[in-house]
Amino acid sequence: MSRKPCCVGEGLKKGAWTTEEDKKLISYIHEHGEGGWRDIPQKAGLKRCGKSCRLRWTNYLKPDVKRGEFSSEEEQIIIMLHASRGNKWSDIARHLPRRTDNEVKNYWNTHLKKRLIEQGIDPMTHKPLASNSNPTVNTPPENLHSLAAPSSDKQYSRSSSLPSLSRLTNKDGTPVQGGSLSHKKSFKRSSSTSRLLNKVAAKVTSVKEILSASMEGSLSATTLPYASYSDGFSEQIRNGEGSSNAFLTNTLAEFDPFSQSPLYSEHEINATSDLGMDYDFSHFLEKLGRDDHNEENDMNVEYGHDDLLMSDVSHEVSSTSVDDRDNIFENFEGWSNYLLDHADFVYDTESDTLI
């Protein structure tokens, strides 16, 4: 059985679309609407295949298609979603209002992928490259959100020397812990959506680092990511307050992306059961902190069925027990991914509302 190819036909034009062709297509769709792409070329008087018409319309002519530079917020979202979903461009594009999958894909291939490689990160696995050829940059792979360049990236796009690299090193050439200042900057400039995503990703990384350091008894200012933060998080560490599980507990408890995000009203926060959660996020973190402490006495502690992430949504996000620290890490990442997977809203940056 062989299927007749869609775009095989005599006299069909290929290549760049002319203004005249665009006008014909726009005019036809305005009058008759989208759909029935196979018939559109003939009806609209175009010597194109239907598929070509559909692509031209969806990627370029459609009125609500956003074009132009990607903002740093959009970059961060792309990087984060790519880390959890891979090359699912249409999926990623759904989280970027008015962006097409083709545009996201192109932007990844021409900008973001190169930037990750330059910073010693495998763009496919989002882990450090086997042989890190860039000793001046030692950014943890999880610091995906810190890799987004300023929105003025376009001006560097044709340069092989990425400007972000200079921001990743101190004056003496040593790497800045946890990435670049642009990360901090991005918090200020973020939309609510990306602030939420930033927070999740940042804390995932931070908690990982802290737990690792704590486990090794080596927690210190130098082990902390985001040392350049001024949000009080690393301040406590630098002040010597961060050498115990108490700090971890406090730090974890203070982080609640729901409460910090205007995207969620109070009733929405309380409605986390919609996500299969019996506790809100701060409860989860507090418990995680407690159990991390208790773990010293009971390394085989099992979470009850009413524990966030460990029960109702566990099939989606992670394992059901936390008997080692790797699982703790996975649960944070799992929660982050779960959040993204369920964030089927579209954020309108103009009205600052969910649509």
Partner DNA sequence: AACAGTCTCAACCGCCTCGAG
Partner DNA sequence: TCTCGAGGCGGTTGAGACTGT
Interacting positions 6-35 with DNA (CB under 7 A): 6-7, 13-17, 35
- Considering the complex, what minimum distance in angstroms separates the CB of residue 118 from DNA? 11
72 binds DNA (CB under 7 A): no
C-beta closer to DNA: residue 107 or 338: 107
If one asks whether residue 56 binds DNA (CB under 7 A), the answer comes out as yes
CB of 66 to DNA, least distance (A): 11
Considering the complex, state which of residue 131 and residue 160 has its C-beta at the smaller distance from DNA: 160
Of the candidate residues 37, 316, 339, 346, the single one contacting DNA (CB under 7 A): 37
User: Which one, 111 or 208, has the nearer CB to DNA?
Assistant: 111
Q: Burial of 316 by CB count in 10 Å (0-12 exposed, 13-18 middle, 19+ buried)?
A: middle
Radius of gyration of the chain measured on its C-alpha atoms: 24
Site for DNA in 223-282 (CB under 7 A): none
Residue 48 binds DNA (CB under 7 A): yes
Quick check: 62 binds DNA (CB under 7 A)?
no
Residue 171 interacting with DNA (CB under 7 A): no
- Is 105 a binding residue for DNA by CB under 7 A? The answer is yes
As a whole number of angstroms, the distance between CA 334 and CA 328 comes to 10
- Interface with DNA by CB under 7 A: which range of 98-106, 229-237, 263-271, 300-308? 98-106
Instruction: Write down the least CB distance from residue 312 to DNA, Å.
Output: 25
In the list 89, 264, 329, 332, the residue contacting DNA (rule: CB under 7 A) is 89
**Residue 263 and residue 265: Cα distance in Å, rounded?**
7
Cβ at position 59, least distance to DNA in Å: 6
Under the criterion CB under 7 A, does residue 338 sit at the interface with DNA?
Answer: no
Q: Is 174 one of the binding residues for DNA (CB under 7 A)?
A: no
Angstrom distance (rounded) from CA 78 to CA 253: 28
The verdict on 122 binding DNA (CB under 7 A) reads no
Q: Which of 152, 157, 265, 294 binds DNA (CB under 7 A)?
A: 157
- Spatial CA neighbour of 203 closest among 353, 342, 348, 339: 339
Phi, psi of 190 (to 5 degrees): -65, 150
CB of 119 to DNA, least distance (A): 16
Least distance (Å) between residue 260 CB and DNA: 31
By the rule CB under 7 A, 63 interacts with DNA: no
Of the residues 20, 42, 66, 106, which one makes contact with DNA according to CB under 7 A = 106
Cβ closer to DNA: 90 or 239? 90
Selected from 27, 42, 110, 244, the binder of DNA by CB under 7 A is 110
Q: Which residues bind DNA (CB under 7 A)?
A: 1, 3-7, 13-17, 35-38, 48, 50-52, 54-56, 58-60, 67, 87-91, 101-103, 105-107, 109-111, 114, 157-160
